[in-house]
Structure 1
């Protein structure tokens, strides 16, 4: 079967992911709310569409990469949305980070019109999107996953079919819980080193070689040392993801106190007008709290 591919959402993450598909030789139809966002894709050979429904009418596999749950719901289920044009047998692949329960509800709506859905959120930021090295966590049927896998391999390297619809979003929520709390832990370690009069750069260097070593300590620890918070992943988006985490936990009736606590640091950072900084900048909140900024 020759697949026809569509891509909706051409922002910081979606644009490089879609470009990688074009460069791999896949004919692509695209849509973005802002016409200017489509220009790099059109110049690369993609075909522009006037709505998500038009993309769906032209495509057997439709990728969606937008910001939040309401955005995906509008793209998939809204006026001129994917559901109005989707073909029987098509697959809609949502690579956004959204609510697991909303994902399951959308998958059911698409099944009613003969289409399947995969939730396939990613980790790796804009650098991973451009390099085609994203980690992709996938929920949905095994058959749909295997059909889309060659396309995932253009965009990422660590590709795991986690389970049924919603499982990919649950996995991404777990990822954000770990990342947020590890950023906070690295920030506290840097704070303790400085307050003790010990060079935090040397502390980081020593810790990277032991059990405490991690990519967060490596990448975000450097950001904290250099006060370099040019975003790879904006704090405002991490705030949105942690809201999804805590809403999911509430739906399940479980407590995630560590996640709740670090969310307050991110909320403070965004509330202080710094939501466009990298989420590692939550260290600024830690520093201000102790008069060390």
Structure 2
């Protein structure tokens, strides 16, 4: 696997690197859903989304997503470099792995369903964080400040 410092050898089987990549993406896709739900709930209680992101990023539930990447959603950008269809495809692969290995997968199955709903809603377009947009729409309002004023 390529890392900022170069290539990292995961193990002797090349499939191990692919598995690590899929599991990393599973966590990322799950965080998109969890962070969006937290942000929407915080906004509903009156906390301004940008401030809430800062506060959450400085606490125990922080993640690289919150610290570095979630600001894109707050700007109305759902990261168009990776298609939602590919997100769903990867989640299906991991779900199949879990089933084959008899590993519990309840929470991740719910995450997969939200992404599947986003694919059904928007079609196979670019936007790996479209699950966030779907949840925003279900809540009745965008987190992005400029879009909040348009609604």
Check if 1:200 corresponds to 2:68.
no
Shift of 1:207: 2.0
TM-score by length of 1: 0.44
Check if 1:175 corresponds to 2:24.
yes
Shift of 1:257: 1.0
Greater relative contact order (Cα < 8 A, sep 6+): 2
Instruction: Pick one of 240, 246, 257 that aligns with 2:95.
Output: 246
1:50-65 to 2 correspondence within 5 Å?
none
Check if 1:286 corresponds to 2:135.
yes
Q: Deviations over 1:89-114 (max 9, x none)?
A: xxxxxxxxxxxxxxxxxxxxxxxxxx
Instruction: Pick one of 69, 74, 85 that aligns with 1:236.
Output: 85
Alignment coverage as a number of residue pairs: 142
Q: Deviations over 1:135-174 (max 9, x none)?
A: 3xxxxxxxxxxxxxxxxxxx96362323424212221221
Contact conserved, 1:238 with 1:279, CA < 8 A, in 2? Answer: yes
Change beyond 3 A, Cα 1:273–1:282: same
Contact conserved, 1:224 with 1:281, CA < 8 A, in 2? Answer: no
Report the aligned-residue RMSD: 2.1
Greater fraction helix: 2
Counterpart CA distance in 1 for 2:41 and 2:85 is: 26
Contact conserved, 1:246 with 1:260, CA < 8 A, in 2? Answer: yes
Change beyond 3 A, Cα 1:159–1:165: closer
TM-score by length of 2: 0.81
Greater fraction strand: 1
Counterpart CA distance in 2 for 1:197 and 1:158 is: 45
Please state whether the residue corresponding to 1:160 is helix, strand or coil: coil
